[in-house]
């Protein structure tokens, strides 16, 4: 009996030692700690296409559509640098990436993504099987959502588990890689082709003034009828076919701050929206701030 008990103890000791060795091997295989605990580290580059080519291919299938989706072919991947996240709550359930050819909004039903994907972090994303589409003509990627009352389908938030299986963190975040595209004249964005070419990208608009300085960016009382988001337009760009401004969520950390006066440079993720293709109203260009620090006074 003693020998059997002794044998069991030996076997248990061996099992524990092998388990410890296995854990150590995982640590030794990544001594620098550069393997992210988030996403899918097993994802490999196999069929990476540029974001612009993705937009060109799938956007062509949605020409003249306000709200629509189309399934992306299996195996398609994109790679880019994170330009915007939910750090201060203005980009809600979205992360934006840019690969130098174009930018893209990716919709995810998850909060706190800034803790996983800092601005300047390069990622590989498997978009095959997801849906490219437009929400009020603004391109984005996600899973289909149908508003049956309005008979409209557009790409909306994928669940967090789906997202975690689809992206891979590459290296360490470098904020200097998240460069913005400078637009010197706001009127250039009234040209529809110019605006949509920059949709989903980080843009800096130079030397603009707010039309209503001193107002709160996004009071909840005002956002009640506008989906809890408020747009503050720039001076000279408040009329039909000329609307350009800053869109702020009523739940953003800086929603209660005051709109500054004087000339400013404004940086944000550029979005374009239309409610109808036949309306004479035209499109609205909005910059979505990542932080109140994205507004800089012109000296």
Query: 187-232: per-residue pLDDT in tens?
Result: 999 998 999 999 999 999 999 999 999 999 999 999 988 889 999 9
At 240 the pLDDT is 79
| Residue 32 pLDDT greater than 70, yes or no | no
Least confident span in 200-214, 243-257, 272-286: 272-286
Contact predicate 166/127, CB 8 Å: yes
For residue 16, the Cα-to-chain-centroid distance in whole angstroms is: 44
Mean pLDDT of 9-17: 45
What is the predicted pLDDT for the residue at 34? 67
pTM score over 0.75? yes
Condensed to tens digits (0 to 9), the pLDDT of residues 183-196 reads 999 999 999 899 99
pLDDT band at 123 (very low <50, low <70, confident <90, very high): very high
Work out the average pLDDT over 132-160: 94
Checking if the pLDDT of 279 tops 90, the result is no
pLDDT (0 to 100) of residue 225: 87
Who wins on pLDDT, 295 or 151?
295
How far is 122 from 151, CA to CA, in rounded Å? Answer: 37
Q: What percent of the chain has pLDDT over 70?
A: 87
Q: Is the pLDDT of residue 112 over 60?
A: yes
Q: What is the pLDDT of residues 63-109, one digit of tens each?
A: 778 889 999 999 999 999 999 999 999 999 999 999 999 999 999 99
């Amino acid at each position: 009996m003693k020998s059997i008990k002794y044998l069991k103890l030996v076997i248990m000791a061996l099992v524990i030692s092998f388990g410890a060795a296995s854990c150590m091997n995982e640590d030794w295989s990544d001594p620098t700690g550069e393997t992210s605990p988030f996403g899918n580290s097993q994802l490999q580059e196999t069929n990476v296409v540029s974001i612009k080519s993705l937009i060109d291919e799938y956007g062509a299938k949605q020409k003249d559509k306000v709200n629509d989706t189309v399934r992306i072919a299996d195996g398609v991947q994109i790679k880019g640098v994170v330009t915007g996240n939910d750090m201060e709550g203005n980009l809600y359930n979205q992360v934006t990436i840019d690969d130098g050819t174009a930018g893209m909004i990716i919709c995810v039903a998850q909060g706190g993504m800034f803790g996983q994907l800092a601005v300047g972090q390069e990622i590989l994303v498997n978009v095959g099987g997801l849906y490219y589409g437009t929400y009020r003509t603004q391109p984005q990627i996600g899973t289909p959502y149908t508003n049956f009352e309005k008979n409209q389908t557009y790409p909306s938030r994928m669940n967090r588990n789906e997202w975690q299986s689809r992206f891979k963190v590459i290296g360490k975040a470098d904020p200097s890689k998240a460069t913005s595209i400078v637009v010197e004249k706001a009127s250039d964005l009234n040209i529809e082709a110019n605006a949509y070419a920059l949709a989903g990208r980080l843009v800096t608009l130079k030397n603009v003034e707010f039309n209503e300085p001193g107002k709160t960016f996004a009071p909840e009382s005002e956002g009640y009828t506008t989906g809890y988001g408020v747009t503050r337009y720039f001076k000279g760009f408040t009329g039909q076919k000329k609307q350009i401004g800053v869109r702020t969520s009523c739940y953003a950390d800086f929603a209660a701050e005051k709109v500054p006066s004087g000339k400013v440079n404004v940086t944000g993720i550029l979005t374009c929206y239309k409610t109808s293709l036949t309306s004479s109203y035209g499109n609205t260009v909005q910059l979505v701030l990542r932080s109140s620090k994205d507004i800089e006074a012109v000296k």
